[in-house]
Each structure stands twice: as C-alpha cells, then as structure tokens.
C-alpha cells in the first residue's frame, strides 16, 4: 500500500509536486521518490514497504522507456513472472513490477490478468495509462487543471486545489488519452439474472479460504481486525489455521468504548477460541469527537455512516502500527454479497434482493472500502479484504438469490455463509459467534458512541443552520445536525464542488427509519440475544 501521484503535462515545478505528494505521506511512511520523465511528466510515490522491502522502491522502470507507480498488491505476481512474463528481465522482487512489464507485453489490455488490488499509472514517453482494481479496494482520483494537465492520485487532498475539476476514478476501468475510460471488468454476476448457480457450501468454504491465503502474502507481520462479528471472525479463523500450518501465531485487534462493548466481548471469545495473541483498544466519546476535524480531512467524505465507523478504526489502526504490524485482514464485502444488513429482510422478492446485493457490491468503493482504506492508511496500515476476491465473488454473487434471503431461514442473515463454516467436527468458531446477529461496526464498539455523537453534533449546529442547509449546501444537502456538522468540516478542507460530488450517501432501503445504523431497523435484537442455528 502506498500513495501515488502522477501529473501528465509540462510546466509543474518539481518542488511543488513533491509537496503535493507529501500530503499523502501517511500512506507511505517508509520511503518516497519522484521521477520526471524526459517529456516533463511526473510520477511520485510514497511507499509502505510490504513485499520486497529492500529493492522495491518506486517509480519502477520497465525494460525500456516505460515507468510505473502502483498502490496495492498483485497476488499472482510470481505466476506472472514465471509464465506470461518469463522472457522479461526484472529489476526488483516487488510484486508491483509485473505491471510495467504487462504493459510492455500487452499494451493497454492486461488489467484482467492481474489478481490483486491496485491503482497504478504507467508513463511511456507521451503515452500513459491509469487503472483501478475491479471493486475499487484501492482509491484513485483523476483531475484536470486550467492548462489541460491531467492528474492521478491516491487521495484527492493531493490534487483538489490544483484542478478545476476532479472526480473518483471508476473501479474496474483503465484510462488512456487514446481510448478514454474502458471498462475491463465485466463479470457475469453484474446481470442479476445470471444468479443461477446452485448452493455449494464446500465451494464457498474453499474459495474463501483460498482468497484469505493469497492475502497473507507479505514480508512484514500480518494481523486481523477482529470485531467479533461473523465476517471478521471467519477471516480470522481461516487465517489462524493457515498461519498455524506455517508455525506462526495470529495477532488479532479489537476496539470498543470499554470491555463490555458488544464487539469487544465477542472478539475476545473468538481470540480465545483461536488461541490468538489478542489486543484490545479502548477510546472515549470525547476522544472520538476531538478528532472529527482531522478524521474527515483524512477520509475525504462526509457520509454519516463512514464517519461514525472511521473514528474507532482510526484509533485502532494507530495502536496496530505501534505494535509493528503493517498489514491486517478485514471483513468488508460479506454483507453486500450475502445481503447481511438487516434491511435486506424486507426485500420484496428475490429479484429485488439480488439487484440490491449487486448494487451494494458495485458501490462499496464509495463507503466501506473508502473508510477501510483511508482510516487505516492514515497510520500507514494496509487493510486486505478476502471477501472481495474475484474468484470468491464469481462463486458467491451468482448463487440463486432465494438461497441467500433471510426470510427463508427464519430471518437469519448470511445463513449460507454461516452454514458453510458450521463444521462441528472441526469448528471454525464458537456457535455463539458463528450465529451472532449482524452488528454494524459503529454500533458494536458501544451503543453510546453513536448516541452521544448525535447529541454532541446537536450542540454544535443550530436549528437555523440546519434550516438553511439547502442554501448553504445545494448539492447533497444534509438533513440532520450530525450530517450538517460533518459536511461543514468537509467543506472547510475541500471547498470544491468536485469534492462534494465524490461522496455518495449510504441509505438503507425497505425501512422507514433511514438512519444508517443497524439499530434503526426493527429487526435489530437487544444485546445478549442469541440466534439459534437451524438444522
């Protein structure tokens, strides 16, 4: 994981480019470098060293005149080196280097050959291309300045005040001056009627295990974000088994307001069950409120649920990096794939259920993936997401939707995922965790967090201010005092209309209360309620 910046076009001062790149220094605290091409274009890189700690410095030159910067991980880089690229001479052992060689070998048409999470820019003379991974696990922005120069960067803070317009780079696309945007990721599951696969619990279990195994690739210590919910607990359990086979021990991390927070209690049960080296982190509402300004600058959004969940993740990430761990596995994506949010219970039919899961997967880059990346990378920590592995998606999203609907299992969300790992003879998790109801991260750290955060925001925004929100913020106007406060902070740091337009509000469907908290849904159970598994 890193921060990348590219400027296509002549006339920028090198010192200014370095300063712009340094705005993302938190993404790459280990080393940095900048290269100006013979044509006057710039590539800059802030590096977090994960693979090839000693020779993987970027930008990386290809065999001839092409140079590249990359943020992310290429999990099949060894396979590419030994197969499609076996005739190429490599300068480093970095997984990133395969990208520039793929460009030399195939031109623009190679992104679908990469198994990984990425945002990259290649410059070759005056030719260039930029691309983003299929789901947008890694962030990327692009913009245009008054003189027609084109910018690409991992975070918009590096380019917002340089560009007259800018936007989020669409996931699953590449861009060149010759082709414009080209959609290279075209999975069958994007058409809802292709959800025609029979349920295969063993296939779910095997493909998720393989997805997790890939994401243990690193030359640095790896840990897991463990909330005690189903998704993070499953990835933790799988990782624990894989690491034990290598003689290694799992390091797990959880956070809450105190030791009685729902997630902290559940996470400790999981860690004890797995024999993990467990770390608990606590924060107070007062501490959370105090970092709102810094946090919103970091995560570059005013979306309410993203801010709520980013605060604990921000504190947790700082503690994790203090231990020396630089990579963590996280559970993002499972709720979107399997319809795990409580509002999915109210889907009117299987077709609408499937359409909503697909849209949620496609829009993850605007919310959970943005939050997971930027709140962790604020402290130079890389988060990897096994549930969004391409092969796992191909299996899980295409399962017939009636197999996923909670109403077919007495209201139990993600039933088939739970059942796939319900192996009594060799259990992955304790039953009380495997069958625990969905608890959104911002709720699970302690219900007082959101309740008191809302109360605090109410003291900072007057009724008159909220009434004038439509005039003050005509685009995506806030409708609550909490949303107004976040929008005001965002506006201070990112006053451009282009910045506001990068944010998409997360709103649940099929329920009256539109607050994004899971507790807003009538199906939310009281603390301590235990779901029973079905036979």
In the predicted model, what is the mean pLDDT of the chain? 93
Judge whether residue 519 has pLDDT over 60: no
pLDDT of 479? 95
List Cα–Cα distances, 447 to 84, 194, 241, 442, in angstroms: 52, 39, 32, 8
> What is the length of the chain?
535
Choose the weakest-confidence range: 189-203, 432-446, 493-507, 516-530: 516-530
- pTM of the model as a whole: 0.94
Q: How many CB atoms lie within 10 A of CB 512?
A: 7
- Angle at the Cα of 417 from the Cα atoms of 411 and 422, rounded to 5 degrees: 100
**Nearby residues of 54 by Cβ (< 8 Å), 6 or more positions away:** none
Reference 333, options 76, 135, 111; nearest CA is: 135
How far apart (Å, rounded) are the C-alpha atoms in residues 238 and 216? Answer: 11
pLDDT tens across 201-242, in order? 999 999 999 999 999 998 888 999 999 899 999 999 999 999
How far apart (Å, rounded) are the C-alpha atoms in residues 110 and 508? Answer: 36
Higher pLDDT: 486 or 220? It is 486
Compute the radius of gyration of the chain from its Cα atoms: 23
* DSSP-based three-state secondary structure for 436: coil
pLDDT above 90 as % of the chain: 85
pLDDT tens across 253-293, in order? 999 999 999 899 999 999 999 999 999 999 999 999 999 99
Between the two ends of the chain, the Cα-to-Cα distance in Å is 43
- Contact yes or no for 340/405 (Cβ under 8 A): no
Q: Which two tokens stand for residue 349?
A: 């039919």
Q: Residue 55: which pLDDT band, with cuts at 50, 70 and 90?
A: confident
Beta strands in 204-264 (DSSP E): 222-225, 251-256
Choose the weakest-confidence range: 78-92, 180-194, 246-260, 508-522: 508-522
pLDDT of 534? 47
Higher pLDDT: 523 or 109? It is 109
Judge whether residue 521 has pLDDT over 70: no
pLDDT of 526? 46
pLDDT of 47? 86
Residue 20 DSSP class = H
Q: How many CB atoms lie within 10 A of CB 497?
A: 10
pLDDT of 1? 62
Reference 139, options 382, 372, 379, 370; nearest CA is: 370
Beta strands in 112-250 (DSSP E): 116-124, 127-132, 141-144, 150-153, 165-168, 173-176, 180-183, 222-225
Judge whether residue 513 has pLDDT over 90: no
How far apart (Å, rounded) are the C-alpha atoms in residues 519 and 441? Answer: 11
Q: Which two tokens stand for residue 100?
A: 């520039």
- Contact yes or no for 302/489 (Cβ under 8 A): yes
pLDDT of 529? 38
Judge whether residue 456 has pLDDT over 60: yes
Delineate the domains of the chain, giving CATH numbers in brackets: 2-186 (3.60.20.10), 190-460+505-520 (3.40.50.620)
- Angle at the Cα of 439 from the Cα atoms of 435 and 443, rounded to 5 degrees: 155
pLDDT tens across 323-349, in order? 999 999 999 999 999 999 989 999 999
Beta strands in 319-376 (DSSP E): 327-329
By annotation, the residues acting in catalysis are 2
- Contact yes or no for 333/361 (Cβ under 8 A): yes
pLDDT tens across 470-485, in order? 999 999 999 999 999 9
Q: Which two tokens stand for residue 116?
A: 């990984």
**Nearby residues of 462 by Cβ (< 8 Å), 6 or more positions away:** none
Choose the weakest-confidence range: 127-141, 300-314, 441-455: 441-455
């Amino acid at each position: 994981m890193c921060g990348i910046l590219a400027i296509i076009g002549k006339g920028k001062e090198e010192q200014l480019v370095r300063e712009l790149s340094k705005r993302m220094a938190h993404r790459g605290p280990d080393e940095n470098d900048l290269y100006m091409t013979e044509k006057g274009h710039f590539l800059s890189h802030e590096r977090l060293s994960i693979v090839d700690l000693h020779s993987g410095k970027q930008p990386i030159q290809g065999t001839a005149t092409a140079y590249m910067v990359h943020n992310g991980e290429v999990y099949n880089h060894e396979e590419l080196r030994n197969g499609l690229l076996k005739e190429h001479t490599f300068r480093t052992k970095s997984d990133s280097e395969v990208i520039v060689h793929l460009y030399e070998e195939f031109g623009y048409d190679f992104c679908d050959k990469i198994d990984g999470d990425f945002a990259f820019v290649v410059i070759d003379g005056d030719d260039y291309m930029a691309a983003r991974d299929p789901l947008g696990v890694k962030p990327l922005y692009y913009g245009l300045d008054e003189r027609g120069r084109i910018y690409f960067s991992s975070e918009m803070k590096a380019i917002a005040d340089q560009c007259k317009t800018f936007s989020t780079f669409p996931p699953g696309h590449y861009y060149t001056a010759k082709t414009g945007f080209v959609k290279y990721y075209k999975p069958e599951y994007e058409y809802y009627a292709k959800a025609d696969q029979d349920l295969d619990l063993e296939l779910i279990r095997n493909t998720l295990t393989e997805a997790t195994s890939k994401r243990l690739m690193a030359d640095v210590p790896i840990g897991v974000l463990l909330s005690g919910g189903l998704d993070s607990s499953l990835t933790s359990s799988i990782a624990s088994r894989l690491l034990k086979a290598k003689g290694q021990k799992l390091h797990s991390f959880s956070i809450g307001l105190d030791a009685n927070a729902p997630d902290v209690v559940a996470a400790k049960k999981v860690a004890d069950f797995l024999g993990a080296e467990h770390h608990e982190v606590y924060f107070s509402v007062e501490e959370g409120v105090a970092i709102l300004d810094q946090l919103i600058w970091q995560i570059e959004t005013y979306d309410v649920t993203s801010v709520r969940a980013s605060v604990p993740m921000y504190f947790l990430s700082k503690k994790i990096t203090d231990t020396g761990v630089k990579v963590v596995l996280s559970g993002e994506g499972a709720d979107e794939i399997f319809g795990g949010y409580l509002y999915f219970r109210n889907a009117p039919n299987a077709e609408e259920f499937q359409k909503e899961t697909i849209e949620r997967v496609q829009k993850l880059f605007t919310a959970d993936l943005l939050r997971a990346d930027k709140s962790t990378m604020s402290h130079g920590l890389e988060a990897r997401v096994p549930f969004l592995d391409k092969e796992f998606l191909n299996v899980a999203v295409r399962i017939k939707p009636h197999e996923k609907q909670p109403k077919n299992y007495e209201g139990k969300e993600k039933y088939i995922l739970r059942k796939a790992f319900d192996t009594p003879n060799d259990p992955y998790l304790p039953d009380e965790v495997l069958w625990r109801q969905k608890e959104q991260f911002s709720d699970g750290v302690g219900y007082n967090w959101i309740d008191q955060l809302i109360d605090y925001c109410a003291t900072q925004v007057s009724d008159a201010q909220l009434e004038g929100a439509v005039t003050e913020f005509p685009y995506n106007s806030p409708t609550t005092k909490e949303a107004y406060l976040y929008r005001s902070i965002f506006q201070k740091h990112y006053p451009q209309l282009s910045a506001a337009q990068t944010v998409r509000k997360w709103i649940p469907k099929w329920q009256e209360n539109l607050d994004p908290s899971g507790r807003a849904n009538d199906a939310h159970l009281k603390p301590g309620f235990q779901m029973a598994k079905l036979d």
